[in-house]
């Protein structure tokens, strides 16, 4: 049993491969999370323009990409776009798919945060001469982000987990490299290593999330 799943020799041998996978997972997360946050922020700012010409297309966009399974979206981009003469490579496809998918989720979170800030805040800011954009930036957004911090963090956790989808389009991230190592060594130990590493990087985030959620609950009481 231990020889099969926790084989030390295989761990040593697979370590360099798994490590390079880990590096890519971290790199991918560092690209995909800010990209999703940026997309979400843009969507939420657009949503604060209450004009019907902005509102309806925006709602359709957000609904569409939230309903679209990210794996299907990814494969569609990776396998479909070449037929349109556009070959982007796995990494770019992951970045685009995440921008569209997680951006829509982040967007809804930001939007809820912005709407949680009382209108009187904007009125006070505008009455002192701040522009609409300045009021958003200095008064509304800081409060909005604080109000939805647990949701933002929880979505970020999901995004980091979802980077493993990159393995499907041959992005050499942690899961992909672990599977490579597995097929070379004919042993599942590298997959176990990947699982443990995922847990070790995500667990602190989960703890932090619990603390934030508890604090939010206490604040509401």
Tally of CA atoms within 13 A in the half-sphere of 71 that contains its CB = 6
115 near another protein, rule: CB under 8 A: no
**Residue 120 or 204: which CB sits closer to another protein?**
120
172, 27 in Cβ contact below 8 A?
A: no
Contact window for another protein (CB under 8 A) among 133-141, 168-176, 177-185, 194-202: 133-141
**Residue 89 or 142: which CB sits closer to another protein?**
142
136 near another protein, rule: CB under 8 A: no
Q: How many residues make contact with another protein (CB under 8 A)?
A: 18
Q: How far is the CB of 140 from another protein (least distance, A)?
A: 10
Query: For residues 105 and 73, what is the distance between their CA atoms, to the nearest angstrom?
Result: 15
190, 182 in Cβ contact below 8 A?
A: yes
**Residue 89 or 118: which CB sits closer to another protein?**
118
Least Cα distance to 195 among 167, 170, 159, 164 occurs for 164
4, 192 in Cβ contact below 8 A?
A: no
| H helix runs in 141-188, sequence order | 141-147, 149-162, 174-185
| Both tokens assigned to 205 | 């985030």
| Both tokens assigned to 175 | 């899961």
Q: How far is the CB of 97 from another protein (least distance, A)?
A: 34
Q: How far is the CB of 135 from another protein (least distance, A)?
A: 10
116 near another protein, rule: CB under 8 A: no
219 near another protein, rule: CB under 8 A: no
Which residue in 51, 83, 84, 127 binds another protein (CB under 8 A)?
A: 127
φ, ψ for residue 183, nearest 5 deg: -70, -25
Q: How far is the CB of 220 from another protein (least distance, A)?
A: 15
Which residues sit at the interface with another protein, rule CB under 8 A? 118, 120-121, 123-131, 134, 138-139, 142-143, 146
């Amino acid at each position: 049993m231990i020889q099969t799943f926790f084989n030390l020799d295989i761990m040593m041998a697979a370590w360099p491969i798994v490590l390079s996978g880990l590096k890519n997972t971290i790199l991918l997360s560092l690209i995909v999370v800010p990209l999703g946050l940026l997309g979400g922020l843009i969507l939420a700012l657009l949503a604060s323009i209450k004009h019907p010409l902005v509102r309806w297309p925006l709602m359709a966009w957000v609904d569409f990409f939230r309903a679209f399974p990210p794996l299907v979206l990814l494969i569609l981009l990776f396998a479909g776009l070449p037929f349109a003469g556009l070959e982007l490579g796995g990494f770019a496809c992951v970045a685009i798919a995440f921008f569209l998918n997680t951006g829509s989720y982040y967007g809804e979170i930001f939007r809820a945060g912005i709407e949680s800030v009382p209108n009187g805040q904007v009125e006070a800011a505008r009455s002192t001469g701040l522009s609409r954009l300045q009021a958003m930036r200095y008064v509304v957004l800081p409060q909005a982000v604080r109000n939805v911090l647990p949701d933002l963090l929880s979505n970020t956790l999901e995004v980091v987990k979802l980077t493993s989808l990159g393995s499907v389009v041959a992005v050499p991230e942690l899961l992909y490299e672990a599977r490579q190592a597995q097929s070379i060594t004919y042993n599942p130990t590298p997959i176990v290593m990947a699982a443990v590493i995922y847990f070790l990087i995500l667990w602190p985030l989960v703890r932090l999330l619990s603390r934030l959620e508890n604090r939010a609950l206490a604040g509401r009481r």
